[in-house]
Amino acid sequence: MNIAAELLVGILAGACGAMGLGGGSVLIVYLTVFANVKQLTAQGINLIFFLPTAAVALFIYSKKGIIKWRFIFPIMLIGTLATLLSGFFVGLFKAELLKKLFGVAIVVYGVYELVLGKKEKVRGKK
């Protein structure tokens, strides 16, 4: 693997993750397409990558007072249950199908954001 490419991907994935955009979309695509890593292995690497970046983002967002703490535990519970269920079902599919589903999901989400994405007001501007 190319160290310059790895640095760039790490920076892009970290920046996307810190903004809540899902750094895994950058990291998993790089690992599977350019580094020839198997899909499930790439997903596992992404999960490990997510832990420190999520901790840093949580710290920063918490200091800014942006986190709505009353929503955290219900969302964590539902997310944990969904992860357990989907982790079980992922093992039932072949890697090729997972790659295609992941690609379709990213394209659908991108089109959705382009067409129907909510416009947010920038702070300080009227």
Q: Is residue 51 part of a domain?
A: yes
**Per the structure, how many domains does the chain have?**
1
Token readout for 46 is 């992404």
Token readout for 7 is 């640095």
At 79-105, the pLDDT tens digits run: 999 989 988 888 888 878 888 888 899
Token readout for 12 is 């892009």
Token readout for 110 is 């991108």
Round to whole Å and give the CA distance between 106 and 80. Answer: 22
Q: What pLDDT sits at residue 125?
A: 52
Q: Is the pLDDT of residue 26 over 60?
A: yes
Rounded-to-10 torsion of CA 95, 47, 111, 91: 30
Q: Is residue 59 part of a domain?
A: yes
The parent domain of residue 18 ranges over 3-116
Token readout for 88 is 């079980």
Q: Is residue 94 part of a domain?
A: yes
At 41-89, the pLDDT tens digits run: 998 898 898 888 778 888 988 899 988 888 888 999 999 999 899 888 8
pTM above 0.75, yes or no: no
